[in-house]
């Protein structure tokens, strides 16, 4: 509350309404009596959490797919966040009650624009939220709702022996023995109900199950099932070596790829016919702005949005054609016939899609962030060769972060190939961008693929998420009206921001 009565005399210009009930004693101390009725704030693992904020984030992130939701705390000793959601009717019919809805909710929860400690361990679909006879939400019914065992997925994920064994160790350490929680290769221990206290229990359980010692620092760093299993394998009696990445092998293209004969460009001259563009990553922060610029351009007739995950929405436009799929899937989820139709008519490819995570390993991100680039290169060149069509120009959205590989104060328009990441434990996201750039440079130099690489810095604008440290500092500095003294902490340089509109306009405008 700004300008509290009497506060200015004490030097206050703001107070925070905590929602707590307390009694002031004669000695000046307070006795805590609980929370104000109707309040949804809870304290979990040392964090104050607004349950209503989680619910709002779920509904907003679903973009109309979920119409109602509620979040509660389950358990007594080992507590965890559980959300219950109601799908929009037509979406419910499309997804069904089985694997598709579970997969959608898992992906939604893992990507909520919230701190990890605020993300639910599990989201459960219901036909409707239970109500009492008085028309209020029946929280007792939700608290008693039985969490079912894991739902089998359509495609059984292949886990290594270590991953399968570790999965069971995780379940034993998680609240409620992980009942009802899907654990996959890429599952993060903290996003499925784990916390720092449970991490200590997990460390002991790993020692008992595998006979190896894992430091707490390693557990925090390798918090996904796949990366932690990799750490365990490296410390087993049969393997004492950390796996090194052969960057030269990673950036090698298929030797059978054809050479481009003729090429197209992103923007035609006014006398030419309107063109077709292929876009990945169309539902992300930058992707939505790129879509807006593309559909508003008079010389663009059609935009094929490929690898769009189920439930993601896009603006209504006659120019848009949405293809559901996934960046890690063969042909990005297109059928072979559809892939040939789409790529044979395209004048340009804008590859903006990627899984953004600075915590996951390169090996984890490789299938999504690198293999998608490799597939797009092959589809562009092979389809043009087979159909006798010009090769589309290729625009890759990289990151200014690759400039840090050169360890120099500036990184102008130059090749990143001479500056490979560390062979052991590199930043997975930046390493994936590096390999993609190298693949595209090779395709351009050897095969004639017209390539433009864009390296945006911190993209800002209305609706930007603040899950990275830079935007978190910005957001909380605005809220607190104070900024951290980073210079005193030894930091140098400046934050480099670019507006999302400026970035998207630059991508669409370059031929």
Domain containing 52 equals 41-144
Is 376 in contact with 390 (CB distance < 8 Å)?
no
Among left, alpha and beta (phi > 0; psi -120 to 50; other), residue 134 is: alpha
Q: 66 with 181, same domain?
A: no
Is the domain of 478 the same as that of 423?
A: no
Both 421 and 468 in one domain: the answer is no
Has residue 506 been placed in a domain? Answer: no
Residue 224 pLDDT: 84
Same domain, 335 and 442: yes
Mean pLDDT, the chain cut into blocks of 10 residues (511 residues total): 56 64 75 59 73 90 90 76 88 68 80 79 87 86 74 60 91 71 77 74 89 79 84 65 79 91 63 85 93 93 89 83 88 90 94 84 85 96 90 95 84 90 83 96 95 92 71 78 78 80 90 56
166 and 258 in one domain?
A: no
* Per-residue pLDDT tens over the stretch 322-371: 998 888 888 998 888 999 999 999 999 999 999 887 767 787 788 899 99
pLDDT value of residue 239? 44
Same domain, 462 and 478: yes
pLDDT in tens, 377-408: 999 999 999 988 889 999 999 999 999 898 77
Co-location of 313 and 402 in the same domain = yes
Instruction: Evaluate whether residue 23 is within a structural domain.
Output: no
d(CA 194, CA 175) in angstroms, rounded, equals 8
263 inside domain = yes
Find the CATH number of the domain harbouring 387.
Answer: 3.40.50.720
User: Are residues 287 and 370 located together in one domain of the fold?
Assistant: yes
Residue 151: its pLDDT value, please?
Answer: 45
Query: Tell me, what's the pLDDT at 14?
Result: 65
Q: Is residue 509 in a domain?
A: no
Pair (360, 451) in one structural domain = yes
Domain boundary among 144, 177, 205: 144
Residue whose C-alpha is closest to residue 181's, from 73, 102, 75, 294: 102
Question: Which residues partner with 48 through β-bridges?
Answer: 43
Establish if 7 belongs to a structural domain. no
- Which of 144, 173, 193 finishes a domain? 144
Q: What is the pLDDT of residue 227?
A: 85
- Is residue 346 domain-resident? yes
Q: What total of structural domains would you count in the chain?
A: 4
The span from the CA of 477 to the CA of 437, in Å, is 35
Contact criterion met (CB below 8 Å) for 105 and 125? yes
Instruction: Report if residue 508 sits inside a domain.
Output: no
CATH number of the domain residue 74 falls in: 3.30.300.30
Q: Is residue 1 part of a domain?
A: no
Q: Give the separation between CA 394 and CA 510, rounded to whole angstroms.
A: 11
Q: Are residues 447 and 464 in the same domain?
A: no
Query: Is the same domain home to 228 and 79?
Result: no
Q: Are residues 216 and 261 located together in one domain of the fold?
A: no
Q: What is the CATH number of the domain that holds 202?
A: 1.10.1200.10
At 179 the pLDDT is 60
């Amino acid at each position: 509350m700004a300008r509290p009565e009497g506060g200015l005399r004490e030097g206050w210009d703001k107070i925070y309404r905590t929602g707590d009930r307390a009694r002031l004693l004669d000695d000046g101390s307070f006795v805590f009596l609980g929370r104000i009725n109707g309040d949804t704030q809870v304290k979990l693992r040392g964090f104050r959490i607004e349950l209503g904020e989680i619910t709002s984030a779920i509904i907003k992130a679903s973009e109309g797919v979920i119409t109602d939701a509620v979040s509660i705390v389950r358990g007594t000793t080992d507590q965890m966040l559980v959300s219950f959601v109601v799908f929009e009717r037509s979406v419910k019919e499309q997804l069904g009650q089985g694997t598709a809805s579970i997969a959608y909710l898992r992906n939604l929860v893992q990507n909520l624009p919230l701190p990890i400690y605020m993300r639910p361990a599990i989201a459960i679909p219901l036909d409707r939220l239970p109500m009492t006879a008085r028309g209020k939400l029946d929280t007792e019914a939700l608290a008693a709702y039985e969490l079912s065992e894991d739902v089998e997925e359509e495609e059984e994920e292949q886990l290594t022996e270590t991953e399968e064994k570790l999965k069971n160790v995780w379940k034993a350490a998680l609240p409620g023995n992980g009942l009802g929680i899907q654990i996959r290769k890429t599952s993060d221990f903290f996003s499925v109900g784990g916390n720092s206290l449970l991490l200590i229990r997990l460390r002991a359980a790993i020692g008992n199950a595998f006979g190896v010692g894992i430091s707490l620092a390693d557990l925090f760093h390798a918090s996904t099932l796949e990366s932690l299993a990799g750490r365990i394998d490296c410390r087993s009696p049969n393997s004492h070596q950390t796996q090194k990445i052969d960057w030269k092998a990673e950036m090698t293209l298929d030797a059978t790829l054809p050479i481009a004969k003729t090429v197209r460009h992103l923007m035609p001259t006014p006398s030419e016919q309107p063109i077709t563009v292929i876009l990945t990553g169309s539902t992300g922060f930058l992707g939505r702005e790129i879509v807006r610029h593309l559909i508003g351009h008079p010389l663009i007739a059609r935009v094929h949005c490929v690898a769009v995950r189920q439930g993601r929405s896009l603006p209504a436009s006659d120019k848009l054609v949405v293809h559901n799929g996934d960046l890690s899937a063969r042909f990005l989820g297109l059928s072979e016939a559809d892939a040939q139709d789409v790529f044979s008519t395209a004048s340009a490819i804008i590859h903006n899609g990627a899984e953004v995570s600075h915590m996951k390993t390169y090996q984890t991100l490789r299938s999504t962030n690198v293999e998608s680039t490799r597939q797009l290169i092959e589809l562009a060149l092979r389809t043009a060769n087979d159909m006798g069509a010009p090769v589309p120009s290729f625009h890759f959205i990289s990151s200014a972060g690759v400039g840090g590989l050169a360890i120099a104060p500036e990184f102008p328009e130059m090749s990143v190939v001479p500056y490979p990441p560390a062979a052991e434990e590199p930043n997975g996201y930046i390493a994936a961008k590096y390999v993609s750039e190298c693949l595209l440079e090779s395709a351009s130099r050897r095969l004639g693929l017209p390539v433009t690489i864009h390296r945006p810095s911190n993209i800002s604008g209305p609706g930007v998420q603040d899950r990275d440290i830079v935007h978190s500092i910005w957001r909380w500095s605005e809220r607190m009206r104070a900024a951290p003294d980073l210079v005193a902490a030894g930091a140098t340089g400046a934050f480099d921001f670019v507006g999302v509109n400026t970035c998207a306009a630059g991508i669409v405008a370059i031929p």
